[in-house]
Amino acid sequence: MTTAFSGIGVYGARPVAIGKAFVLAREPLATAETIAPTQIALELQRLDNALECARRHLEEVRNKIPPSSPVHLAEFIDAHLLMLTDSVLVDATRELIQERSINASWALQMQRDTLVEIFDQMEDDYLRTRRDDVDHVVHQIQVFLSNKGTAESLATADISGRVIVASDLTPADAILLRHRGVAAFVTEHGGPMSHMAILARSLDIPAIMGVHNAIQYIHHDEVLVVNAETGTVLAEADGAILAHYRAHLADAEIRRSGLQRLVFEPSASRDGTPVVLLTNLELPEDVAAARNNGAAGVGLYRTEFLFMNRAGLPDEEEHLATYLAIIRGLDGIPLTIRTLDLGADKPAPLYISGLKASTQINPALGLRAIRLCLQEPSLFLPQLRAILRASAEGPIRLMIPMISSMSEVDQILSLINGIRRELRRDGVAFDPLMPIGGMIEVPAAALMAGALARRLDFLSIGTNDLIQYTLAVDRSDDAVSYLYDPLHPAILRLIKLTIDAATATRTQVGMCGEMAGNHHYTPLLLGLGLREFSMQPSALLEVKERIRCCDVPALQQQVDSIMHQLDDLDQNEFDERLKALSEV
């Protein structure tokens, strides 16, 4: 009988995988023992030896990371290496051995429990998930204290095409497993903001996290279907279900191959209306995917990863080197760099003083994005200088997130003009005509889009936050996710208002939120007047295919009619009118 398990799905381009389960059951390694005073020195030495072995193991893993892997993978390992010397973990464990005359493994477990309790009491979701790092590092030390070495089952077993089922996995595990061809991960712990979730997305491995008691109920070698899109794991699936998902995978592969024919085809509608298709980038390593899918440029490069999983701020030269690497990889197509957008669902690291000094009851409405950058010049100025310097090497646009007032625009432009004067004085090259734009992510920005369009060179609609703030819906909260509606009349009006304001001032306007990459919304957005879409590389060709089938003038007539009758249409009529757009 088929058994279904549910959890939190995480995936990149591939949401579905099928494979035999490889159940990784890690038994508790800590045992409580009291020791004689004469044994304390020996126990301290055992702890030091285990720490050294764990350090060597992590360094070995770090050295095996292929050069083509995302740069932040090594930073995950570096973060764990730093924890091996952290006094809160190591020195406190030594004190417990000495003060309580207990063995090293039990002292380490006691200190682990203390730290985890502190993390569990934190209100911030991101900080709570940092308990995972404590568990990963402590387990690694415990392995060597128990003289069991590393996890030989993973190191020697044939795991190609397998679905790894574990209580949890370390970043080191994930990196090595990906390069040994695993099909998917299923873990009992972890959340959407955990390190493993970040890694699963960037490594393009389907994963389901938070599947409680997975190890207890899933058997080794049974065939699993992992559907990260629905957050579902199917065990003991019958022949019909397996046939369905295997056909799904085959069809998806055929469709991906078929879409490749569009890479070099014009991005224009059936009536000849040109549409600019750009891509969103998370990491410099995503450039190849952008080029392979025929992107005309990068409409959004997120710079947050430069600030995460590290002990201090990136300096101007590190920013510059990263941007130059992307420019060279893009080979002449334009790059839009969004300045730092930390806060809310992308919490800032603790070393950023502004965040450390304030307790945010509601991070989504607090010190985030441009607000944080304007309050913390040490974050913002090196990035602005690096972006301006990089503009001398290729076509760059600078984009400011979460603008909500004209005073913020004035401050930003003043800072940029000051940096321009400094660079001219020092004889440093930059593009004086580099476009500066802003994101429309809050209702206030949409309502003042005309004023913003007159002050800025371009606008970009960030639908993810615009929907969240307009409808008062936390998009990461499952309890209210049913209210998160991109087709809500208020959202459509704000999008239309922004596009019309930009058109009236002849200001370039695009969209870089999730709506832009959903081909079901493409006819509607074209009818609203959108002519620039930016999305994940994997969505680009599907959207291009839909665009090439559309008659834009006819769509504009249909959408104008819908917008004029929004208040008079009931839900069924509204749905039918939107559905009919796909046939225009």
* 165: three-class secondary structure by DSSP: strand
271: DSSP letter? T
Closest C-alpha among 265, 354, 289 to residue 545 = 265
Element (H, E) at 406: helix 406-425
Taking 3-state DSSP, the helix, strand and coil percentages for the chain, each rounded to the nearest 5, stand at 50, 15, 35
**Beta strands 232-235; 3-6: pairing state:** antiparallel
**Tokens of residue 290, six digits:** 């952008």
Q: Is 87 exposed, middle or buried (0-12, 13-18, 19+ CB in 10 A)?
A: exposed
Determine the Cα–Cα distance for residues 197 and 212; give it in Å rounded to an integer. Answer: 16
Rounded (10°) angle between helices 552-564 and 489-504? 120
Catalytic residue among 80, 189, 195, 319: 195
Please report, as a single letter, which amino acid is at residue 218: I
Residues 316, 382: contact at Cβ < 8 Å? yes
* 99: three-class secondary structure by DSSP: helix
Rounded (10°) angle between helices 377-390 and 316-330? 40
Catalytic residue among 53, 373, 512, 550: 512
Is 139 catalytic? The answer is no
Residues 308, 76: contact at Cβ < 8 Å? no
Determine the Cα–Cα distance for residues 266 and 345; give it in Å rounded to an integer. Answer: 37
Maximal C-alpha separation, the chain? 88
**Tokens of residue 366, six digits:** 């607090």
Element (H, E) at 508: strand 508-511
Sign of torsion, CA 384 386 387 389?
positive
Closest C-alpha among 287, 269, 464, 431 to residue 278 = 287
Name, in order, each residue with C-beta under 8 angstroms of 155's C-beta and a sequence gap of 6 or more: none
Is 179 catalytic? The answer is no
What is the C-alpha R_g of the chain?
26
Per-residue DSSP letters for 179-212? TTT--EEEESS--TTSHHHHHHHHHT--EEE--T
Per-residue DSSP letters for 41-83? HHHHHHHHHHHHHHHHHHHHHHHTS-TTS-HHHHHHHHHHHHH
List Cα–Cα distances, 211 to 6, 10, 240, 400, 460, in angstroms.
6, 12, 24, 38, 37
State the catalytic residues: 195, 512
